[in-house]
Amino acid sequence: MLDAINLNDGESCPGADTCREKKGPGNLWKYPETPEEEICKGCKLYQTKPERMPEHLARHAETATTLAELQRSGASFSYPHALQAAEWASLSGLTRGRERAETMRQERDRKDPKKRRQSNGRS
């Protein structure tokens, strides 16, 4: 999913619930009788849609995000006994993915300084 976000200049799907709102960024609210998937497939951000993530991966992503938030709050995890193997793998994968995303963002910014100014305003 991070690759898809990076290929869309850092943009990602806000999720179907947001696109159903009349002031939301998407078109779901315009076509209440059309199946969601049919509308979403035409969106350039479709590959980044949160609902597309398989459930088994979503659980790991949620675990990794929670652990990363705990770390940012000052928690530390003593390796290897503090977490289960799947938790370590999830956290490690998230860290590598974020590092790769940051590298790709920096490359985009070097190629297009105008977008760098725009993205710095969003942070």
Q: Is the pTM of this model over 0.95?
A: no
3-state helix vs strand vs coil in the chain, percent to 5: 65, 0, 35
Of the chain, the end-to-end C-alpha distance in Å amounts to 20
Residue 113: phi and psi, rounded to 5, are -60, -30
The per-residue pLDDT for range 73-119, each reduced to its tens digit, is 999 999 999 999 999 999 998 888 888 888 888 888 888 777 654 54
The per-residue pLDDT for range 68-82, each reduced to its tens digit, is 999 999 999 999 999
